[in-house]
């Protein structure tokens, strides 16, 4: 009997090891995305100084990545269905690694921004495939274990990205300054590529009949590029005809995108979702919160370095309380609070953000650029708690009124909206900061905080229109 059962035990063991290896690979891909989305928060001033890119480069470094990711995220999922998740995962990982190499070796601002766009674009091909591969390959029990690991790993990545960037720049490894923050991806990406080629299951069930709305994606891309370019160019070099025309083109193309979503046979966003009051209200709140939150975190890193003259390492450590608050709140929300409180938790999160921003405003108003990192730490922790509650809760509660056949489209749409809002927010809030900096960096920080407070306060009434509670099984989407 032992001889008969042993082969099946060995097969089960190998299968289990392979599933853990796939999980490790998917976590590596997601960690790379989170790290690369956040490293420029700390590195931007150093990069701009060494490449003579000025304020314009600082404003583009983060949004360039998030813009490409947001526009192509939904398309990436559809392409995986059409051509196979394994193939798209390999293309995404390979392209992301190559783009990281170009970013690390870039001699000029324009090439670096192009590389950041490429990183985001290939990341958008890569990230959606991981969840689809796990859903197909994993047992129900293994899938539950996998979901339990995503929070800690991505949380550590969001802390580790800026902190690592700060230490790498301060260490000046091999005299390369900021470049290793991108060049490290060559090693990690190559490991991921080799692993993916060896362990990912072959795609035998891809559906070549899957329709990808290229026109919709193109319209959205032009709209977002027009808005971002106009915003950054106008706030940096003055509101001449070029930025005004650029923003106008962006608005017109966004209107065309919205029309396309209503009339296309296979739109990127299901029209029924846009008629769902709860979902659209959650989208509006999400747009405001993700934009203001991401922009504020970026501006805080600039204020610590430019205003308080903290080194990149000290600035990255100074932001750790905020990130820890964000992670702690995220775990608390997904650990049961969102199921119990629903949209009330969003309201609580926004209120806590108001308290934290008001606290920082009072400190800066009192001490200006002489405020210490230690004095800011508790206030930043409060901002992190509030932001974390909102970031974790809004995407889940937004699905509360969605029908089962809408859940996939709704979840993907919210992921794209989060990236696009982060791109617009980083550019807009940074622009406000630099516009106000002519009267001093303390004044610039005060103006930025007042704008964030206003946007947050205006979001509060809309929360009442969101779905009252999260779906019964939030993990199902």
Taking the chain, what is the end-to-end CA distance rounded to the nearest angstrom?
43
- Determine how many CB atoms are found less than 10 A away from the CB of residue 376: 24
Domain boundaries, the chain: 1-209, 213-265, 270-477
| 104 within 8 A of 180, measured Cβ to Cβ | yes
C-alpha 433, offset from chain centre: 21
Give the per-residue pLDDT at 342: 86
- pLDDT surpassing 70 at residue 474: no
The domains spanning 1-209 and 270-477 adopt the same CATH topology: yes
Highest mean pLDDT among 263-267, 304-308, 388-392: 304-308
Confidence of residue 278 (pLDDT cuts 50, 70, 90): confident
Give the per-residue pLDDT at 475: 42
Mean pLDDT calculated for residue range 189-216? 81
Q: Say which range, 160-164, 202-206, 298-302, has the weakest mean pLDDT.
A: 202-206
Residue 312 to residues 293, 329, 364, 446: CA-CA distances in angstroms?
21, 26, 20, 22
- pLDDT surpassing 60 at residue 3: no
Give the per-residue pLDDT at 238: 81
Report the C-alpha gap between 324 and 155 in whole angstroms.
8
Average pLDDT, the chain: 85
DSSP 66-80: HHHHHHHHHHHHHHH
Give the per-residue pLDDT at 210: 65
Highest mean pLDDT among 90-104, 198-212, 284-298, 316-330: 90-104
Greater confidence (290 vs 12) lies with: 290
C-alpha 131, offset from chain centre: 16
Give the per-residue pLDDT at 119: 95
- pLDDT surpassing 70 at residue 113: yes
Residue 51 to residues 9, 108, 427: CA-CA distances in angstroms?
58, 6, 19
Tokens of 272: 């029924």
Give the pLDDT confidence of 42-52 residue by residue, as tens digits.
899 999 999 99
Q: Which fold has domain 270-477?
A: Growth Hormone; Chain: A; (1.20.1250)
Confidence of residue 183 (pLDDT cuts 50, 70, 90): very high
Give the per-residue pLDDT at 2: 46
C-alpha 397, offset from chain centre: 19
Report the C-alpha gap between 428 and 449 in whole angstroms.
13
Give the per-residue pLDDT at 155: 65
Report the C-alpha gap between 158 and 310 in whole angstroms.
20
C-alpha 448, offset from chain centre: 21
Give the per-residue pLDDT at 1: 42
Give the per-residue pLDDT at 464: 92
- pLDDT surpassing 70 at residue 405: no
Give the per-residue pLDDT at 262: 81
Mean pLDDT calculated for residue range 231-247? 86
Tokens of 126: 């890569």
Residue 120 to residues 113, 338, 438: CA-CA distances in angstroms?
11, 30, 32
pTM greater than 0.75: yes
- pLDDT surpassing 80 at residue 242: yes
Report the C-alpha gap between 225 and 46 in whole angstroms.
25
Mean pLDDT calculated for residue range 19-34? 88
Q: Which fold has domain 1-209?
A: Growth Hormone; Chain: A; (1.20.1250)
Angle of helix 2-51 versus helix 109-137 axis, rounded to 10? 160
Percent of the chain residues past pLDDT 70, beyond the cut: 90
C-alpha 225, offset from chain centre: 17
Confidence of residue 379 (pLDDT cuts 50, 70, 90): very high
Give me the torsion for CA of 316, 33, 473, 205, rounded to 10°. -170
Confidence of residue 209 (pLDDT cuts 50, 70, 90): low
- Determine how many CB atoms are found less than 10 A away from the CB of residue 317: 18
């Amino acid at each position: 009997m032992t001889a008969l059962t042993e082969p099946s035990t060995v097969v089960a063991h190998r299968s289990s090891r392979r599933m853990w290896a796939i999980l490790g690979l998917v976590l590596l891909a997601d960690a790379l995305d989170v790290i690369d989305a956040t490293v420029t928060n700390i590195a931007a001033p150093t990069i701009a100084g060494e490449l003579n890119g000025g304020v314009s480069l600082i404003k583009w470094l983060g949004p360039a990545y998030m813009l490409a990711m947001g526009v192509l995220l939904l398309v990436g999922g559809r392409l995986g269905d059409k051509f196979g998740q394994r193939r798209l995962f390999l293309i995404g990982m390979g392209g992301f690694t190559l783009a990281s190499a170009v970013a690390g070796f870039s001699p000029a601002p324009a090439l670096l921004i192009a590389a950041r766009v490429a990183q985001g674009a290939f990341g958008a091909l890569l990230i959606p495939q991981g969840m689809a591969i796990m859903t197909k390959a994993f047992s129900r029990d293994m899938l539950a274990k996998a979901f339990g690991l995503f929070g800690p790993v991505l949380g550590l990545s969001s802390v580790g990205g800026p902190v690592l960037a700060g230490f790498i720049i301060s260490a000046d490894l091999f005299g390369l300054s900021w470049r290793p923050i991108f060049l490290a991806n060559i090693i990690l990406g190559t490991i991921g590529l080799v692993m993916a080629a060896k362990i990912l299951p072959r795609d035998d069930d891809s559906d070549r009949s899957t329709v990808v709305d290229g026109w919709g994606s193109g319209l959205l891309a032009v709209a977002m590029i027009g808005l971002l370019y106009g915003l950054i160019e106008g706030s940096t070099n003055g509101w001449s005809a070029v930025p005004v025309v650029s923003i106008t083109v962006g608005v017109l193309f966004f209107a065309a995108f919205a029309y396309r979503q209503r009339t296309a046979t296979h739109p990127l966003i299901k029209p029924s979702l846009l008629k769902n009051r709860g979902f659209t209200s959650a989208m509006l709140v999400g747009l405001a919160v993700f934009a203001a939150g991401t922009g504020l975190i970026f501006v805080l890193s600039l204020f610590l370095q430019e205003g308080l003259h903290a080194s990149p390492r000290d600035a990255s450590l100074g932001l750790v309380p905020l990130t820890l608050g964000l992670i702690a709140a995220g775990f608390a929300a997904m650990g049961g609070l969102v199921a119990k409180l629903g949209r009330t938790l969003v309201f609580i999160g926004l209120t806590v953000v108001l308290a934290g921003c008001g606290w920082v405003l009072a400190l800066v108003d009192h001490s200006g650029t002489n405020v210490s990192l230690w004095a800011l730490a508790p206030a930043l922790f409060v901002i992190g708690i509030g932001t974390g509650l909102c970031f974790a809760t809004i995407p889940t509660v937004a699905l509360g009124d969605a029908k089962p056949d809408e859940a996939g489209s709704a979840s993907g749409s919210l992921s794209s909206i989060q990236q696009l809002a982060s791109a617009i927010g980083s550019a807009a809030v940074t622009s406000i900061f630099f516009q106000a900096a002519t009267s001093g960096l303390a004044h610039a920080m005060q103006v930025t905080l007042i704008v964030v407070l206003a946007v947050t306060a205006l979001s509060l009434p809309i929360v009442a229109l969101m779905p009252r509670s999260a779906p019964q099984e939030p993990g199902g989407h």
